[in-house]
Amino acid sequence: MNSQSSLAAATFVSRCDGILHAEIDQEIVALSIAKGTCYGLNAVGSRVWRLLAHPIQVSTLCEILTSEYAVEPSVCECQVLELLEDLLAEGMIKTCESIRERGADDLIGAEK
């Protein structure tokens, strides 16, 4: 959708601050406090959201999802990138240029 995609397999991404979320029927409903907009994520989107608690590389994200869902790696990466682009456009997530942007706490607490 976005021809000038800023995301690639090596990019680190994480949730933005100021986004609240709650789980209803195991699916994530999130709110951007700044925009006052409410977003709903489906089952896979909700899994991705949970993994975005700490900075994570897109490729790592895809590896985890491929191990959990019956999906071809190439298809997975394509769909994950699409979802992440949407989340990025809505200001729900941010990219981290390098691992140096990750705080010590994030490194310790990062989900495998």
- What is the binding site for other proteins (CB under 8 A)? 20, 22, 24-25, 27, 29, 31, 33, 36, 38-40
Pick 18 or 73: Cβ nearer other proteins: 18
Nearest to 53 by CA among 17, 89, 82: 17
Q: How far is the CB of 22 from other proteins (least distance, A)?
A: 4
Pick 40 or 103: Cβ nearer other proteins: 40
28: which strand partners?
23
How many CB atoms lie under 10 A from the CB of residue 47? 18
Q: Please give the backbone phi and psi of residue 5, each rounded to the nearest 5 degrees, phi first.
A: -60, 135
Q: How far is the CB of 78 from other proteins (least distance, A)?
A: 24
Q: How far is the CB of 94 from other proteins (least distance, A)?
A: 20
Pick 25 or 72: Cβ nearer other proteins: 25
Alpha helices by DSSP H, the chain? 43-51, 58-68, 73-89, 104-109
